[in-house]
Chain A
Amino acid sequence: MIAIIDYGVGNLYSISHSLSFLGIENQVTRDRDQVLRADKLILPGVGAFGDARKKLSEGGMDALVVQKAQAGTPLLGICLGMQLLFQKSYEYGEHQGLSLIPGEVCPLQEDISPALKVPHIGWNGLRFLRPCPLTRYIQEGDSVYYVHSFYAKGAGEAVKAVSEYGVQVPGLVQRGNVFGAQFHPEKSGPVGLKILKAFGEVEGAC
């Protein structure tokens, strides 16, 4: 069972619907026991980093997610949920992340041409940099749906696929059993479903 962690941010039901559509058992939950028992975790999120980080820490959910991830449970962070996996974010101040993947989350605006709009909203193609279990059913050039104003920097080898938007925006990151998608796989049509299907098949120690 995949636990989709409900910590009060974002539309979790589209993630749940897409997993159900694929026949993957899932549960939207804020229950600690359910999260503890889950085979896999999805950390969703839209909105601002600081606010989300605070909400995730309520009831110690942040520590539980880190504990599960460190024990080998496959974890997928989506959009802001992916950004939370990094060490630090500079969205309205400076915030500590979960530090499961090295790197920092920085404003796109400072690094791209003013002619490019921020947020980066819409469909953009993926270029593969390194092998990743989540890309096994998709092809290079396949498009995914992004909505974000901040992006991961300094993630090094963890960056598995990027999209071009003035800079190389890390689209898919992975460090061991910890995965992140900056785009929304649950809103990326057939390509997104294939990425979720691949996550459903990732083997992990739980």
Chain B
Amino acid sequence: MIAKRIIPCLDVKNGRVVKGTNFEGIQDVADPVDMAKYYNGTGADELVFYDITASFEGRALFTDILKRTAAQVFIPLTVGGGIRDVDDFERVLSCGADKVSVNSGAIADPTLIDRAARRYGDQCVVLSMDVKRVNGQFRLFAKGGRVDTGIDALQWAHDGQERGAGELVVNSIDTDGVKQGFDLEMLSAVAERVTIPIIASGGAGKKEDFKTLFEAVPQVDAGLAASIFHRREVPLPALKEYLAGQGIPMRILREE
């Protein structure tokens, strides 16, 4: 049986992993390559690197981190942040990424999804979306959750799949950093509109939140989180063992 995936997300700025609350108040955590190795060894099913650097120097640091990680970490690596064109796909894929996550770049030009999927295959294109409730509607936000696009998020998810996105990361701005659980209502609404794998993001604060997620929205394939793993408030190996014990299909690493 296929396992539900647990995915730590590493937000990287100027060569360091950071994670803020509600996308603000960024706080430094640790060295990204060390963290990737730690997660690889403790049972992470996949890693997401998100480049939140704006500067040219920062970007060079990021590609170096990616190369060093890909030489030592042998689980799927997804990379996002600043992906605006097919050339950006090439840049991160050539450094060792397996999948590329697009967000604002796809909002600016949705054909980026089609073009990347045609060139690299659907499995390579992850559509990441930041969603927030506005006047009773699930609204798509751009620029790291700062700008309301006015686009209906559910329609956007559906269109993204039609264009060739292979997976969907759904991040709820309303629950992000609040640590009161995933946004089950929003995730259920998205799950009704797509058939591609859904990765839930935003709101996990304790291990029970993952159990609730997978039980309440069975169409969700993976749970993604950052600070709770990085600060070991929810240690990843303990989480996976807990979920396996609760009957959620999990990949458990054997002791060597």
Contacts and interface: CB of A to CB of B under 8 A. Distances in A.
Interface of A: 11, 13-14, 17-18, 20-21, 46-48, 117, 119-125, 139, 142-143, 145-147, 164-165, 186-190, 192-193
B72 A124 contact: no
B105 interface: no
Contacts, number: 83
Contact of B70 (A14, A122, A190, A192): A14
A190 B3 contact: no
B123 A46 contact: yes
Contact of A164 (B1, B124, B251): B1
B197 interface: yes
Contact of A124 (B3, B70, B74): B3
B3 A143 contact: yes
A141 to B, nearest CB: 9
A21 B73 CA distance: 10
Interface string B243-256: 00000000101101
5 contacts: A11-B93, A21-B74, A124-B2, A143-B251, A165-B2
Given A142-B254, A189-B40, A189-B253, A121 B74 contact: no
Contacts of B166: 119, 121
Q: Is the interface of A mostly helix, strand, loop or mixed?
A: mixed
Chain B's interface size range is: 20 to 34
Interface in B2-54: 2-3, 5, 40, 45
Contact of B76 (A47, A48, A145): A145
Contacts of B196: 117
A122 B1 contact: no
A17 B67 CA distance: 10
Contacts of B71: 17, 20-21
A117 B195 contact: yes
B221 A18 contact: no
B1 A189 contact: no
Contacts of A48: 121
B98 interface: yes
